Amino acid sequence: MSTTVERQAQDYDVAEIMGGIYGAGILGCRGAFEREWVEALAEDVRVAYEDALSREGGAVGRGPKRHYVEIRPEDVRGFVELTTHPWVTAVCEAVLGQDYVFVEIGFDVPNPGAMKQPWHRDFAAPPETVGGRRISSLAFNVTTVDVTPEMGPFEIAPGTQWDDGSEFDHGMFPPKSFFPRYDERAERKLPQIGDIAVRTALTIHRGTANRSETARPVLVLGVEAADATKAIPHDLQLTRAYYDSLPESLRRHLSCRLVDRLEPVVQGHSIEGLVMGEA
């Protein structure tokens, strides 16, 4: 499995990266991976999803017919290629600093019939963002399918990562009176196989209704600055043998727990406001 373009992290424009994350709140890299790499990822996600649905606590609802599943790096064959991709490295270093750490890997699955979500953030803005106007965490997304308008594409309201959340329920859910502004700014994203996107989870966003007959799984890779306020608890676990096989340049960027044998992941980050969805 390989990237489509052999580039180094320094080849990417730091100003463009910072402008994207601090401006719109989202940025993309098209054609980062070969289709074969994504097809292997999609198969691994399918297997992990079936396993998660077969046991209690394996998946958490994000609305009707929509789940989030946190997994282990060893559950996907492309973990090393993803976390060491030059664009991923460039974005992490530019926004989070040289000591960034990967804290989460998982996937979101809007199945056929998934309803539109309410506008929301994934967590309340931390002190370094509210007081210091600094972004301290990022979420990378890799689609496993070519997204069409009928498949419930991700929708985002650019620039809203800086909105005052003091009136938001739990710091995450804005009042419905705020929705017209987000509706006016809304942009739907239609990534294709091979693309990577990165965003701050503080930018107001939602999943739209999946009116197709196809699920839309997307991989999620969470990264934090070394001094980030821990908004969501994660338990990234690796076997000692797998950890020892990783390049040192990657190991130093992992915030993880080492185990002799992988343990089933019990999902811990339930977002109550998304359970019912929106009509």
pLDDT above 80: residue 267: no
Distance CA 267, CA 249 (A): 29
- What's the pLDDT at 22? 98
Distance CA 228, CA 223 (A): 10
Between the alpha carbon of residue 109 and those of residues 75, 144, 170, 198, the distances in Å are 16, 10, 24, 18
Q: What is the mean pLDDT of the segment spanning 49-59? A: 93
pLDDT above 80: residue 9: no
Q: What is the mean pLDDT of the chain?
A: 93
For the whole model, what pTM was predicted? 0.93
- What's the pLDDT at 2? 47
* More confident position, 57 or 272: 57
- What's the pLDDT at 183? 98
- What's the pLDDT at 125? 97
Has residue 1 been placed in a domain?
no
Secondary structure of the chain as H, E, C letters:
CCECCCCCHHHCCHHHHHHHHHHHCEEEECCCECHHHHHHHHHHHHHHHHHHHCCCCCCEECCCCEEEEECCHHHCCCHHHHHCCHHHHHHHHHHHCCCCEEEEEEEEEECCCCCECCCECCCCCCHHHHCCCCCCEEEEEEECCCCCCCECCEEECCCHHHCCCCCCECCCECCHHHHHHHHHHCEECCCCCCCEEEECCCCCEEECCECCCCCCCEEEEEEECCCCCCCCCCCCEEEHHHHHHCCHHHHCCECCEEECCCCCCCCCCCCHHHCCCEC
pLDDT above 50: residue 200: yes
| Among 258, 268, 266, residue whose Cα is nearest residue 237 | 258
What is the domain range of residue 197?
12-274
Has residue 257 been placed in a domain?
yes
- What's the pLDDT at 235? 87
Has residue 118 been placed in a domain?
yes
Domain count, the chain: 1
- What's the pLDDT at 278? 57
Instruction: Please list, residue by residue across 174-188, b when 16 or more beta carbons sit within 10 angstroms of its beta carbon and e when fewer do.
Output: beeebbeebeeebee
- What's the pLDDT at 90? 96
Has residue 178 been placed in a domain?
yes
Q: What is the mean pLDDT of the segment spanning 256-276? A: 77
pLDDT above 80: residue 277: no
Has residue 156 been placed in a domain?
yes
Has residue 7 been placed in a domain?
no
Share of the chain above pLDDT 90, in %: 86
pLDDT above 60: residue 62: yes
- What's the pLDDT at 269? 56
Per-residue pLDDT tens over the stretch 84-107: 999 999 999 999 999 999 999 999
* pLDDT band of 271, cuts 50, 70, 90: low
Q: In this predicted structure, which of 26-35, 212-221, 229-238, 245-254 has the lowest mean pLDDT? A: 229-238
CATH, residue 258: 2.60.120.620
* pLDDT band of 1, cuts 50, 70, 90: very low
| Among 183, 174, 220, residue whose Cα is nearest residue 198 | 220
pLDDT above 70: residue 8: yes
- What's the pLDDT at 167? 96
Has residue 50 been placed in a domain?
yes
* More confident position, 43 or 230: 43
Has residue 92 been placed in a domain?
yes
The answer to whether residues 135 and 252 touch, using CB atoms and an 8 Å cutoff, is: no
Instruction: State the distance between the two ends of the chain, measured CA to CA, in whole angstroms.
Output: 41
